[in-house]
Amino acid sequence: MDTERADRQLRLIAETLGIAEALGVPLWLRGGWAMDFFLGEVTRDHEDVDWFARSHDAEALAKALPDHGWRPVPGPPPDLQLDFAKQGLDSSFTLLDRDAAGRVVVAGGPWAGAPWPEGMLDAAGPGRIGGLRCAIVAPRAQIEIKRMMPVWDPSRPRRAKDAEDIARLEAALGAQGHGSG
């Protein structure tokens, strides 16, 4: 494992949380880092840092991050996701909305209005690695997202790291006596 890269990513996670907190913007880690914060340790190398943010906070984030050295990176439609890079590391902010029923849904792009897993944000407490605490996607929702992403978006094939992450999360949930659903 590249511990230097992981340490840089953890510093940038802490910085991002500080920026968001100053703005009054909630963020939730998703993907591999959410899993690691749930487990309380870095389990593998991470290519990037994935976040969820509310769509109505996108403008504030897009203005504040460059003031702290982040540069915007072109990518998905800006109403779906914001991508930034700093110190050779990438962070993406997938944007969320709520529908009329209050469900968390995709904010924009071709899947606008599609629901995310139920309880994805509500059932998640903060995770932590060392002294760094962060809101995370609920582990069961993370498992569902990792299982379903290749179905929802066929351009994203199944990856070995996703299967490994699912196994880690299910084992941790089982060890807590909660099962995996």
Q: List, for residues 76-122, the tens digit of each pLDDT value.
A: 888 999 999 999 999 999 999 999 999 999 999 888 999 999 999 97
pLDDT value at position 179?
46
Instruction: Give the domains, in start order, of the chain with CATH numbers.
Output: 3-138 (3.30.460.40)
- The b/e string for 90-108 (b: 16+ C-beta within 10 A; e otherwise) is bbbbbbbbeeeeeebbbbb
d(CA 64, CA 50): 18
Q: In which band, very low, low, confident or very high, does the pLDDT at 181 lie, cut at 50, 70 and 90?
A: very low
pLDDT above 90 covers a percentage of the chain that reads 75
The residue ranking higher by pLDDT, 156 or 47, is 47
Residue 3 above 90 pLDDT?
A: yes
pTM: 0.89
